[in-house]
Amino acid sequence: MSGRVAIVALAALGTAVSAYLTWVHYSGSLALCAGAGGCETVQASRYSMAGPVPVAVIGLVGLATITAVSARRLDRAAPVWALTALFGLSLAATLYVAYLTYVELFVIRAVCPWCASVAMATVAVLVLTVSELRAAPQTHS
């Protein structure tokens, strides 16, 4: 599987998980505490919102955008801006999930496996994107 396809697959996976977390947020599926669960703790914390916007929605929009841009790059004739945008978006996403993971581990002290899977997919997208960048001959402008 080429790096481009892997990036699309990982971004799509992250989008799907973010969509699920968004659904959980809006459906009130925090309905039951049937056992100790880090997701419920993370979800109920104030860090699940960025201002008025649920973090899950930020993840959904961000990863859907990354999926769309990376899908655009499946066309070998894709413009250079697609790789630049993919790099910027995946870097921003990685910085944000790094912040959220820090909050989970050291502030909330609970880890949500769904959030962790999104974080891993995001980091993998950045790593693959950087390897694509290194493989591409650099242009000078």
Contacts to another protein by CB under 8 A: 28, 30-36, 40-41, 43-44, 46-47, 49-52, 55, 58, 76-81, 83-85, 87-89, 91-92, 95-96, 99, 108-110, 133, 136-141
Minimum distance between the CB of residue 86 and another protein, rounded to whole angstroms?
9
Query: Three-class SS of residue 29?
Result: coil
Cβ at position 19, least distance to another protein in Å: 19
The Cβ-side half-sphere exposure at 70, using a 13 Å CA radius, reads: 32
d(CA 120, CA 33): 26
The smaller minimum CB distance to another protein, of residues 20 and 87, is found at 87
- Dist. CA 112–CA 92, nearest whole Å: 21
How is 41-55 classified by DSSP, letter by letter? HHHHSGGGEETTEEH
| Residue closer to another protein, measured from CB, 20 or 72 | 72
Pick 19 or 92: Cβ nearer another protein: 92
